[in-house]
Amino acid sequence: MKRSALQVPYFWRAHWSGATVLAKVWQTGARRQSVMASLVSVVALVLLQAAATPTPIKLAIFDFELEDTSAGTASTVAADTTHLKGVTNDVRQVLEQSGHYVPIDGSTADADAARAHNLRDCNDCAAAIARQLGADQSFVGVVRRVSRTEYVVSFQIRDARTGTVISDGDSGLRMGADYSWSRGAVRLIKDRLLDRPDRQ
């Protein structure tokens, strides 16, 4: 005679089934809470990163100016203009690529000092012109030619509202003809402006 299988009373089977359902519900809720917590963490991280990233500064970049103090043969205006335009473009590019600045073309300014490329001698007039262009700051760069193979690059940044000098620097005497001006200017901007410890 075969022994019948153990029969579990219906009362206990019903309770076990209910407990299984509750366990599954709890697990589903736990997973949902885990997903929500992960989403909250991601959102918080994005917000923190956004808060830590400063808003790029609108910078009015005026064409580099030439101060020729060399005692040699008079320079070729067309060649100098071409090289200065190259310096301006290269500096504008490195400033934009840094992510710290949004360049504004200062050559569009309707101002005599800007058109005459004489901003270096008008104190804080570049700041006022930059403000008219909708910029936060102004950038004026100068190449001073000491001789045909020696030069100095300098720059000055002012607050467009107050005219206060925010940053400036010069390269010191560098060796090289006019074709090396861009290299010297970019090196100066990286060393004295973009790679400063407070920019890290």
> CA–CA separation, 153 vs 181, rounded Å?
8
Q: Indicate which CATH number applies to the domain containing 64.
A: 3.40.50.10610
State how many domains the chain has.
2
DSSP 116: T
- 171 and 88 both lie in a single domain: yes
Instruction: Dig out the tokens for 68 from the structure.
Output: 């020729």
Question: What pLDDT band is residue 23 in, cutting at 50, 70 and 90?
Answer: low
CB within 8 Å of 67: residues ≥ 6 apart: 120, 142, 143, 144, 145
Residue 22 belongs to domain spanning = 9-53
- 165 and 108 both lie in a single domain: yes
CB within 8 Å of 65: residues ≥ 6 apart: 84, 117, 118, 119, 120, 140, 141, 142, 143
- 106 and 167 both lie in a single domain: yes
155 alpha-carbon distance from chain centroid: 18
- 131 and 91 both lie in a single domain: yes
Assigned domain for 137 exists: yes
Assigned domain for 3 exists: no
pLDDT for 130-149, tens place per residue?
999 999 999 999 999 999 89
pTM, to two decimals: 0.72
- 141 and 155 both lie in a single domain: yes
pLDDT for 179-200, tens place per residue?
999 999 999 999 999 987 665 4
